[in-house]
Structure 1
Amino acid sequence: MTTNQIEILVYGAEQICASCVNLPSSMDTYEWLEAAIARKFPNQPFKVEYIDIFNPPADDEKRTFAQRVVEEDMFYPVVVIEGKVVGEGNPRLKTIYAEMESRGYIPSA
């Protein structure tokens, strides 16, 4: 079991992306993802942060990636774990879980 806390960033916007009609909003995805990860990896440290791509925080790295999402017309929400894009548009839990397991997280039975 890992003792390192990883940071999971969910980049999105209030408005659903044009190619993502009928999918949950970025904020809904963020909330769903945080709950799903907490159930899958109980009592293991992680942080999920939502970043509005049109109003990013002052942090240079997060601001730069938010601009990239907009400029490259990426499908959002975009899920990033420790700098690696693991989901875009409609992120898959299986992919996110696999990335966390590769970083030492142990799934619950």
Structure 2
Amino acid sequence: MKKELEVSIYGAEQICASCVNLPSSKDTYEWLQAAISRKFPDQSFKIHYYDIFQANYDEEKNAFCHRVIEEDLFYPVVVIENEIIGEGNPKLKRIYQEFEKYGYFSSQ
């Protein structure tokens, strides 16, 4: 059985200054959740949203929230298995490729 992937979306309510005219981090989280579910139906994965300015999570998640702020990463930042897959305006193709790398398969 393949490993159940965990997707972490790090962002904030206010839109990143460099990401004007893009969807909010929360909107991107909801969009990705729906898109991944459609692409890989009946295949389990976890997706979580973390507000970088409300860092009240476990030590690892809090540290990454601080990293996003300190390194001025464009948010939302999409992380899969501790690897940054996209930031600012994440690309579905890249995210899908990462899922396929872990054994997920498309029904489309």
What range describes the TM-score normalised by the shorter chain of this pair?
Answer: over 0.9
CA RMSD of superposed structures (Å): 0.9
> In the alignment, is the contact (CA less than 8 A) between 2:2 and 2:102 conserved in 1?
no
TM-score (norm 2): 0.97
**Paired residues for 1:66-81 under 5 Å:** 66-81=65-80
Give the structure 1 partner of residue 63 of structure 2.
Answer: 64
> In the alignment, is the contact (CA less than 8 A) between 1:75 and 1:88 conserved in 2?
yes
List runs of 5+ in structure 1 lacking aligned partners.
Answer: none
Q: How much has 1:56 moved relative to structure 2?
A: 2.0
Give the structure 2 partner of residue 91 of structure 1.
Answer: 90
Between 11-20 and 54-63, the greater mean CA deviation after superposition: 54-63
CA distance in structure 2 between the aligned counterparts of 1:70 and 1:18, rounded to whole angstroms: 12
Give the structure 1 partner of residue 44 of structure 2.
Answer: 45
Q: Which runs of 4+ in 1 moved over 6 A?
A: none
SS at match of 1:48: strand
TM-score (norm 1): 0.96
Give the structure 1 partner of residue 105 of structure 2.
Answer: 106
List runs of 5+ in structure 2 lacking aligned partners.
Answer: none
Percent identity between the aligned chains?
Answer: 63
SS at match of 1:90: coil
Aligned length: 108
Asked if 1:54 is matched to 2:53, the reply is: yes
